[in-house]
Amino acid sequence: MIAALVRDLQQPEYIHVLLNPLPVYGLLVGWVGLIIGLVLRSRPAQIATLSLVLLSSISAWPVYEFGEQGYDRVLSMTDEPGEAWLDEHMHRAENLIWVFYALAAVSAFAIAAPIKWPKSSMPLAVAVVLLGAVTLGSGTYIAYAGGRVRHREFRNETPPPKRPEHEH
């Protein structure tokens, strides 16, 4: 059992699947908590949830990298509609990964800036809530295509059109 786990952890596509809930579900938990912290006007709650938002949005980086590394192996295991969904998933991730990085930067700034400028706390937290909503939407949009790569039961629509060939 341990040997199988070690083998799986050496496969980038396995690590991608293992980590891919973090940028969306972790962000959702932090985002909801931040809204509650804002309503309660609790700076400690805001710091804790801003930290969760920061960690969740940063986690998009290894998810993206391991997805890139595992592309060819997943491509070899899928059917033609799955290949179209895989390319769409990758295209969406390539075009939207920056939103996660922007949210990480704004979250870090929202944690640190109020130390020097206390009045910036509320506007920065609200900015994180707004950008967090956009990022959650982006993550859901990316995941929508990713869930259809190998799960035929989720394919209730025609696959996206095939994209021009490019290197992976």
Q: How many domains does the chain have?
A: 1
User: Would you say residue 2 has pLDDT above 70?
Assistant: yes
Structure tokens at 129: 């809530």
- Radius of gyration from C-alpha coordinates of the chain: 18
Q: pTM of the entire structure? A: 0.88
In a domain, 166, yes or no: no
- Domain assignment present for residue 159? The answer is no
> Within a domain: residue 134?
yes
Domain carrying residue 133:
2-154
Q: Which comes out higher in pLDDT, residue 73 or 8?
A: 73
Q: pLDDT tens across 44-80, in order?
A: 999 999 999 999 999 999 999 999 999 888 888 888 8
Q: What is the largest CA-CA distance in the chain?
A: 55
Q: Please write the tens of the pLDDT for every residue from 19-41.
A: 999 999 999 999 999 999 999 99
